[in-house]
Structure 1
């Protein structure tokens, strides 16, 4: 007997420290002055002639600023870790669903990156929660939430588990040197979903994933020594040709994912009520809307609030869309995420009775870096 799987609750967590462009203007003035020759400027650069490419068109208004539209980024404070954010988000999702850790049958965690290189955070999260459920790690860079949603839904539909906790997090600030201009638009955050059996017609209707192999080499990762001689995990911009493909292939990855999920579910694009995209840049939601030919009113972008929080973006956008009542019970909602050197994917859900955790604190209450 097949079971119907869907979202029961959703919560997010953002860290306690705020960085704005003023931080880099004050502490890295020379890098700001040379911004167009730095990593961020080269990654998102305009051409010499007018373009018909939708990515270039939507990016164009942001090229006049070295920060490419970044307003605020929330980053880990001295006492915070990816695991501590994941734990707070998980507790928020469980409380919203009125479940205890003992009610969980499985825990899936997608950390980009976890607190240690190996093993990942899953079992440590289960220990902190006091949950006896099996817990394992999943990795698909910034698409971890979409891939995890597909995996959790399939396990519930098969009858293997009833309640699954899915957690995703991003900790870019721990991976980037502050002198690297890539840090200007990247932040940290976490989100958590409780999935379980839901009545028809609500829940997850289908998912389509494609790989993003053309972006292999777009960024590098490894262990380096910091200024104090400590070994730290770092990420840096990689091959510029691969980075160019990351932009050039964005439209085809979106189109393939959306076409696949609409074909699999038999739902026409015009019948979808709302679209939730991960928003790694200030213009990504408008880019996706242009490619799909939909109104910008049918989507949302949390980029101005959080910057690029990678693997946590999909849950953050979905949470704020639900909290702001942009989606309601019965709505068809398409979720889309893309990760470099991993996957892009779309999931279609019919929104049901999904309980929400608390809003993150306003930026005015955060510690300014």
Structure 2
């Protein structure tokens, strides 16, 4: 028998306000057609005034707990992957812990920008396999609308707000490729590429800042690095691209998603795409897409999934798991 971190439940939350591409036409030299052609995005959600990242995360957490048939009393730890926490400290995760009424265990944030959820899955799996926790609530939540430069048409039309959450649970599995749960992870970063995607402010510099991105350069790195991470994770787990039922990619740009799938030899019919409705929700995009994929009836128990993401740092990685 092999102990694995298995997905027990999943859920997501999107703010009520929907912002179509056409809304940007009044203030920017852009159009719905221009945005769709270059990104694949048609609309996104923005958090309401007073609606913070921890609120989105808590709503997604409750949905995941309901899906798992569990309560906060059943959870040992909470990890929130976010680059847009409510406050510098304490962590958004401890705020979620409080809002859920959870008075035990531990909670912390993890920051790896768009790759944050991949990093969080790895950390949660390690905690479970080390015996530190039996069940971990892993959340990706962002309010990127709060760090946009609304005069920069190359970035502000790409991002949205949202949250997704999964419950990972320790389970004994037979010990083969048919095991449910996380099979392999591949994590990477290279700080030389900081200037390709960053926020030009922060606590130490005493400014809030806005997101800045060299889109063409990020695109150039993305397909190669995402494919490499996914193939490395598959190799670690003893699989090949032909074994994959679903790719659940970070939802950043449709051309990156298509290019990565093509390079891996996986048809687009086997890729979960939610980009057009949500935009880029950074660390929230993968759990959000997984939750939508399950709700659509695409992802089913026993399916082999590869999920991958790249973000500021640059930081990137992939996870192979069987649902």
Q: TM-score, normalised by structure 1?
A: 0.79
Corresponding position of 2:70: 99
1:130 aligns with 2:101: yes
Query: How many residues are paired up?
Result: 312
Distance in structure 1 (CA, Å) of the matches to 2:136 and 2:281: 23
1:16-53 C-alpha deviation (Å, 9 max, x unpaired): 11111221212x1xx316x9xxxxxxxxxxxxxxxxxx
Which residue of structure 2 lines up, in the alignment, with residue 311 of structure 1?
283
| Matching of residues 251-270 of structure 1 within 5 Å | 251-270=223-242
In structure 1, which of residues 337, 340, 347 is the aligned counterpart of residue 312 of structure 2? 340
Match of 1:358 in 2: none
Aligned 8 A contact 2:143 2:160 in 1: yes
Task: Provide, for residues 300-353 of structure 1, a one-character-per-residue CA deviation record: whole Å limited to 9, x for no partner.
Answer: 2101111111111111111122222222221111111111214211111111xx
Aligned to 1:5: 5
Distance 2:231 2:287 in 1: 22
- Structure 1 residues 89-98 or 67-76, which shifts more? 67-76
1:32 aligns with 2:4: no
Residue of structure 1 in register with 2:170 after alignment: 197
SS across alignment from 1:207: strand
Task: Give distance in 2, aligned partners of 1:72 and 1:32.
Answer: 17
Could you say which residue in structure 2 is the equivalent of 1:294?
266
Deviation at 1:246, TM superposition (A): 1.6
Which residue is equivalent to 2:176?
none
What secondary structure sits across from 1:216 in the alignment? Answer: helix
Is the aligned partner of 1:222 residue 2:201?
A: yes
RMSD value over aligned CA atoms? 2.2
State whether residues 9 and 195 of structure 1, in contact with CA within 8 Å, keep that contact through their aligned partners in structure 2.
yes
Superposed, which structure 2 residues align to 1:9-88 within 5 Å?
9-26=9-26, 28=27, 31-32=28-29, 68-88=39-59
Whether contact under 8 Å (1:214, 1:246) holds in the other structure is no
- Per-residue deviation at 1:283? 2.7
Distance 1:209 1:223, change over 3 A: closer
Max Rg structure: 1
Unaligned runs of 5+ in 2: 174-178
- Following superposition, the deviation at residue 138 of structure 1 comes to 0.9
Secondary structure of 2:300's counterpart equals coil
Q: Is the 8 A contact 1:141 1:342 kept in 2?
A: no
**Alpha-carbon deviations, 1:144-176, whole Å to 9, x = none?**
111111111121122221111111111110111
User: How far apart, in 2, do the equivalents of 1:262 and 1:193 lie?
Assistant: 21
TM-score, scaled relative to structure 2: 0.89
Tell me which stretches of 4 or more aligned residues in structure 1 moved more than 3 Å.
62-69
Q: Please tell me whether residue 248 in structure 1 is matched to residue 226 in structure 2.
A: no
**SS of 1:83's equivalent?**
helix
Counterpart of 1:207 in structure 2 is 185
* 1:32/1:66 contact within 8 Å kept: no
Task: Give how far 1:293 is off.
Answer: 2.2
Alignment of 1:134-173 (within 5 A): 134-173=106-145
Q: Are the equivalent residues in 2 in contact too, given 1:210–1:345 (CA < 8 A)?
A: yes
Distance 2:165 2:310 in 1: 18
Q: CA deviation at 1:278?
A: 0.7
